[in-house]
Amino acid sequence: MHTHSHGAEGGHAHSHTHTHDPEHVKSVLNRISRAIGHLESIKRMVEDGRDCSEVLIQLSAVKAAINNTGKVILQDHIAHCLVDAVETGDMETIEELNKAIDRFIK
The pLDDT, as a whole number, for residue 49 is 97
pLDDT of 55-96, one tens digit each?
999 999 999 999 999 999 999 888 888 888 888 999 998 899
* Range list of H helices, 1-106: 22-47, 52-77, 83-88, 91-105
* Separation of CA 18 from chain center: 17
Q: Higher pLDDT residue, 20 or 62? A: 62
The pLDDT, as a whole number, for residue 17 is 57
pLDDT at 13 over 50: no
The pLDDT, as a whole number, for residue 44 is 98
